[in-house]
Amino acid sequence: MKMKFLFGGQKKAAKDNQEEAKATPEIPAPAGKTDTIKGVSLQNRPKTIGELKASGYSPLPIREEMRRNLIALIKAKKPIFKGIIGYDNTVIPQVENAVLSGQNIIFLGERGQAKSRVMRLLVGLLDEAIPVIRGCEINDNPFTPICKACREKVAREGDGTEIAWLLRNDRYGEKLATPDTTIADLIGDVDPIKVAEGRYLSDELTMHYGIIPRTNRGIFCINELPDLAERLQVGLFNLLEEADIQIKGYRVRLPLDILLVASANPEDYTSRGRIITPLKDRFGSQIRTHYPVTIKDEITIVEQEWQQFKDGDVNFYVPDYIKEVIAEITNLARKNPDVSQRSGVSVRVSIANMETVVANAIRRAIMLGEKLAVPRISDLPYIIASTTGKLEVEGFEDKNEQKIIDDLTKRAVLIVFNRYFQFGELDPIVKHFNGAFNAETSDNMSAKLYTRYIKEIPGMAKAVKKMTDAETPETIASVVEFILEGAHLNKRLNKTKVEGRTIYKH
């Protein structure tokens, strides 16, 4: 029998369940009603152990349940992790393999790689609802209760024992490991009041359960696993391996049915002494997450995630080159030796920067009474507020964060500009600056003031047309700035800054 993936203590319970489990019938949900345990009752679903038996329902261990549901989704060609971009050929197949093989998973990755989201989406592989003994703190299976209270209740009430239906979203527990996380937080504590009543200390009735037992028959995720103290790692290992645990010197037996998922920074995880080896061995799958491989993926994530307010006061439009510049800044930061690559540069940098440049464009539109907010190159310096704090500067020297971000921005604009324009295309525009001609730009300058450059600078109209068909002054102003800055970064125009204004000149 293929049982090697089960936690030691669950083997007996799982075996029992497996023998009972033939085919799991669909449990009919009441028509037109949303399933909920609290509030509206699940009218057509069994309410007692006797009714549950009569329905032919057989609970499955969590690994078998997830595996069965995953197989059904794959067969139906349905997406398993909705909204996860860029992991189709890397992370997702590995997660599927882990679920198919019933393995605990550890995700290794730098910050902002959607680890938490992937972990939470695993809930989608659980049944819509499962039966539990009503009132049980650890979601006992009605047919094989493990807590003493339930065992006594079932012995007393038999088939009349009440059951409840636990929804999939309530079968997920998550904890951020910190050095001061305790056994009581994770596993439980002995209750001194119950002890005082004269119960045996090793009797689980004296237990106050922690988050892991409360997630029994569900998915438990522990974030930043290497921050967990070693004795807790030992406790966690014992719980998984032996289904028993020492609390304040007393042995408590807890044969839980849990899928364990964890996350960690790769360097922390592999650092010697941060994780005890036996616990490492309990993770059948170690899956490396990553940042978006392409600028296109980064932009897709930004467009999906950034906070947009559609209050109708000011409409906005974000040109593609602005999105590309924002994604490119993050991409360059991920290769920059002055930026700590150990902690990484989250996609959240791109998301927050997008929000910032759009906010600055909206602020300008409101101040100037313009109808459309279109971000410009001159809005980019404001990303300092949304970038600092999200990347760590490498080394101990007093490196100027502002200068690093400034350099990244310039390089990003240059890269994106050169994707759209050939060097020679700028000739007529640059030539016009050979005389005394200057062009002024500013993040608080009215869009209408830019439109004259189209008439005044030969070649500008053609260059703008290449980027946009729009005739709105706000969009044209943004494109004009992009072209002037591109010419400057290609060392074809000089630039000076005076009191918040930028002057492009020969």
Return the ∠ at Cα 111 (arms to 356 and 415), rounded to 5°: 55
Of 214 and 431, nearer to Zn ion (C-beta) is 214
Token pair, residue 363, equals 């602020």
CA angle 416, 421, 424 (to 5 degrees): 140
Distance CA 265, CA 82 (A): 24
Question: How far is 357 from 271, CA to CA, in rounded Å?
Answer: 39
- Quick one: 136 or 259, whose CB is closer to Zn ion? 136
Instruction: Give CA separation, 98 vs 63, 288, 481, in Å.
Output: 10, 13, 50
Shortest distance (Å) from residue 54 CB to Zn ion: 22
The Cα angle at residue 10 between residues 126 and 25, in degrees rounded to 5:
40
Using an 8 Å Cβ cutoff, are 121 and 96 in contact? Answer: no
Nearer to Zn ion, 202 or 451 (CB): 202
Is the CB of 147 or the CB of 287 nearer to Zn ion? 147
Task: Closer to Zn ion by CB, 136 or 413: give it.
Answer: 136
Q: State in angstroms the smallest separation of the CB of 238 from Zn ion.
A: 21
Q: How far is the CB of 187 from Zn ion (least distance, A)?
A: 16
Nearest to 125 by CA among 145, 105, 147, 111: 105
Nearest alpha carbon to residue 25 among 52, 61, 62: 52
136 vs 463, beta carbon nearer Zn ion: 136
Closest distance of CB 138 from Zn ion, Å? 5
Instruction: Please name which of 232, 191, 188, 238 lies closest in space to residue 213, comparing C-alpha atoms.
Output: 188
At residue 86's C-alpha, the angle toward residues 84 and 90, to 5°, is: 105
Measured distance CA(408)–CA(344) in Å, rounded: 15
Give the C-alpha separation, 6 to 97, whole Å: 16
Binding residues vs Zn ion (CB under 5 A): 136, 140, 147, 150
Least distance to Zn ion from the beta carbon of 135, Å? 8
Separation of alpha carbons 71 and 484, rounded Å:
55
CB of 130 to Zn ion, least distance (A): 14
Closest separation between CB of residue 213 and Zn ion, Å? 10
Minimum distance of Zn ion from residue 146's CB (angstroms): 7
Q: Smaller CB distance to Zn ion: residue 98 or 136?
A: 136
Q: Which is nearer to Zn ion, 136 or 167 (CB)?
A: 136
The nearest distance, CB 8 to Zn ion, in angstroms, is 20
Measured from the CB atom, the residue of 140 and 170 that comes closer to Zn ion is: 140
Give the residue carrying structure tokens 């408590």. Answer: 252
Q: What is the DSSP string of 61-94?
A: -HHHHHHHHHHHHHHTT--SSTT--S-TTTHHHH
Query: Is residue 123 helix, strand or coil?
Result: helix
